[in-house]
Chains A and B, each alone.
Chain A
């Protein structure tokens, strides 16, 4: 007899939508009045105007995304997904400009193939993943995660990718590996924000981030290579990005070229820029305000325009406390924000 010990984040059988309904989900969403993401994108490029998600130039080429083979995550319907067009047009990716709409406009030409992601540092088996490896080396699965930005807005996004732990295990870390340091591509020719301090917000590039090794090995820590079933658009961090759903969005570094296991806590970009505002841990925490705004609640971006009543309470660890709270058992999270 097979005895299953479900993990806390696994869905119970009764919460799972039956397959027919799941396969027809796009159709259902349309019927419910939510415009299918694809059609929103299509109409945006068809009526190029000042409101075009991809800017005014009609002949701007849009980055080509390909469909992925992956194990889908059944949805329990408890949370409405943020439409694909919004996920792909509301981005903080200062390498491509400061306005939320800038990355989608300025990144469509990003060259992601060939790509090299090196896994190095305190490991017995350093290796490099090429572009094709990103999609073939590890079985791809879908994870529907809440994303909570430090600016107090949030989305629900169906990512496709694999566990960060899979990659770290493959590298076989040494006993000195206490932290994991991540680095975004540095290519000023392709990233206007890295060429000009005005466009890039005065940040010292490349963008760097880090996790403690036990955080990185947590099953929730995810390397995403796609969203909504297709490869990532550049504005969302193509070809590969980190997703740590219990931390503020800026921890989820985009377009990664290096994952390095290190002994000491690595520097992180926003912490360097404003240490009183952004800590190394950056766990979502409604009890600890950002110095300039409250973190007690957030606006969930879905559909509905200006009158959408979308302000909701922010949950500790963005609602993933059951999976991750143990990592911080004896820590004062007001001090280690």
Chain B
């Protein structure tokens, strides 16, 4: 188990080392800022979708061990999302805080992205075992918000693009499929919640 977990950690960490090494040394193409923002953004979305794939696969293939990877993948998705936001603040806006706040308020795609980030942040903070126990049944209700967050992320991606609809379209279809796999659960949640 520790071996496969280490592999997941390395597979998530090494691309970041490669990315920042080249970005800092100006060997990442002409505009390293755009590249790191896109890389971490798409990375966060990929990891989020993989996280959502875990429980349906565990059920379908009767492999409960897979569930042990769910939290770490979710945390890596958050890490990429955090870097995505920090890259935007530090390298794109270069710490122009007033511009950041006006962008969050005025630009719908940034508003939606920021909302998704806040949800992922809450899920991360409450991912510790001790807090999970303290929260009781509320924990599951809160963590169901990952479905809302993942929809927000796909919308954020689609709205941020100038003209292409294929790539965000493929992500939308994959997400729709992942949500359809847990249709019953989501219906129940929406009725109660």
Interface string of B6-30 (1 = CB under 8 A from A): 0000000000000010111111111
Complex CA–CA separation, A138 to B162 (angstroms):
37
B99 near A297: Cβ-Cβ < 8 Å: yes
B141 within 8 A of partner (CB): no
Q: From A198, A293, A306, A307, name the one whose CB has the most chain B CB atoms within 10 angstroms.
A: A306
Query: Which residues of the other chain, A, contact B30 by a CB distance below 8 angstroms?
Result: 85-87, 89-90, 100, 301
For window 80-116 of chain A, which residues contact chain B by CB distance below 8 Å? 85-87, 89-90, 94, 98, 100-101
Query: Which residues of the other chain, B, contact A94 by a CB distance below 8 angstroms?
Result: 163
Given contacts A201-B164, A299-B92, A309-B94, contact A89 B29 (CB under 8 A): yes
B173 shortest CB reach to chain A, Å: 14
Count B-side interface residues using an 8 Å CB cutoff. 34
Query: Which residues of the other chain, A, contact B29 by a CB distance below 8 angstroms?
Result: 51, 53, 89-90, 100-101
A294 near B102: Cβ-Cβ < 8 Å: yes
Complex CA–CA separation, A292 to B102 (angstroms):
12
Given contacts A273-B163, A297-B99, contact A306 B24 (CB under 8 A): yes
B36 within 8 A of partner (CB): yes
A305 near B23: Cβ-Cβ < 8 Å: yes
A203 within 8 A of partner (CB): yes
Instruction: Name the prevailing secondary structure of the A interface residues.
Output: loop
Complex CA–CA separation, A296 to B40 (angstroms):
25
For window 59-97 of chain A, which residues contact chain B by CB distance below 8 Å? 85-87, 89-90, 94
A304 within 8 A of partner (CB): yes
B31 near A153: Cβ-Cβ < 8 Å: yes
B26 near A299: Cβ-Cβ < 8 Å: no
A: residues with CB less than 8 A from B are 51, 53, 85-87, 89-90, 94, 98, 100-101, 151, 153, 197-198, 201-203, 273-274, 289, 292-294, 296-297, 299, 301, 303-311
B122 within 8 A of partner (CB): no
B96 near A311: Cβ-Cβ < 8 Å: yes
Complex CA–CA separation, A7 to B166 (angstroms):
49
Chain A residue, CB-CB nearest to B102: A294
B25 near A201: Cβ-Cβ < 8 Å: no
B91 within 8 A of partner (CB): yes
What 9 A-B pairs have minimum CB-CB distances, sorted nearest first? A90-B30, A305-B26, A86-B30, A201-B163, A306-B23, A311-B94, A198-B166, A201-B164, A306-B32
6 chain-A/chain-B pairs, Cβ below 8 angstroms: A51-B22, A90-B30, A198-B166, A299-B92, A305-B24, A311-B94
Query: Which residues of the other chain, B, contact A202 by a CB distance below 8 angstroms?
Result: 163-165
B103 near A306: Cβ-Cβ < 8 Å: no
Task: Among B32, B108, B162, point to the contact of A201 (Cβ < 8 A).
Answer: B162
Complex CA–CA separation, A274 to B93 (angstroms):
25
Given contacts A51-B22, A51-B29, A202-B163, contact A306 B36 (CB under 8 A): yes
6 additional A-B pairs beyond A198-B164, A293-B103, beta carbons within 8 Å, are A100-B29, A202-B165, A203-B163, A292-B159, A292-B160, A305-B27
B76 within 8 A of partner (CB): no
Query: Which residues of the other chain, B, contact A53 by a CB distance below 8 angstroms?
Result: 29
Chain B residue, CB-CB nearest to A307: B24
B45 shortest CB reach to chain A, Å: 17
Complex CA–CA separation, A273 to B162 (angstroms):
10
Interface string of B89-126 (1 = CB under 8 A from A): 00111101001001100111100000000000000000
Query: Which residues of the other chain, B, contact A292 by a CB distance below 8 angstroms?
Result: 107-109, 159-160
Query: Which residues of the other chain, B, contact A303 by a CB distance below 8 angstroms?
Result: 26
B22 near A297: Cβ-Cβ < 8 Å: no
Query: Which residues of the other chain, A, contact B24 by a CB distance below 8 angstroms?
Result: 305-307
A311 near B93: Cβ-Cβ < 8 Å: yes
A295 shortest CB reach to chain B, Å: 11
Query: Which residues of the other chain, B, contact A307 by a CB distance below 8 angstroms?
Result: 24, 91
Query: Which residues of the other chain, A, contact B82 by a CB distance below 8 angstroms?
Result: none
B33 near A306: Cβ-Cβ < 8 Å: yes
B164 near A299: Cβ-Cβ < 8 Å: no
Complex CA–CA separation, A136 to B22 (angstroms):
42
Complex CA–CA separation, A90 to B30 (angstroms):
6
Query: Which residues of the other chain, B, contact A89 by a CB distance below 8 angstroms?
Result: 29-30
Query: Which residues of the other chain, B, contact A90 by a CB distance below 8 angstroms?
Result: 29-31
Query: Which residues of the other chain, A, contact B96 by a CB distance below 8 angstroms?
Result: 297, 311
A291 shortest CB reach to chain B, Å: 8
Complex CA–CA separation, A222 to B110 (angstroms):
37
Chain A residue, CB-CB nearest to B160: A292
Task: Among A51, A201, A297, point to the contact of B27 (Cβ < 8 A).
Answer: A51
A41 shortest CB reach to chain B, Å: 12
B68 shortest CB reach to chain A, Å: 32
B99 near A294: Cβ-Cβ < 8 Å: yes
Chain B residue, CB-CB nearest to A310: B94
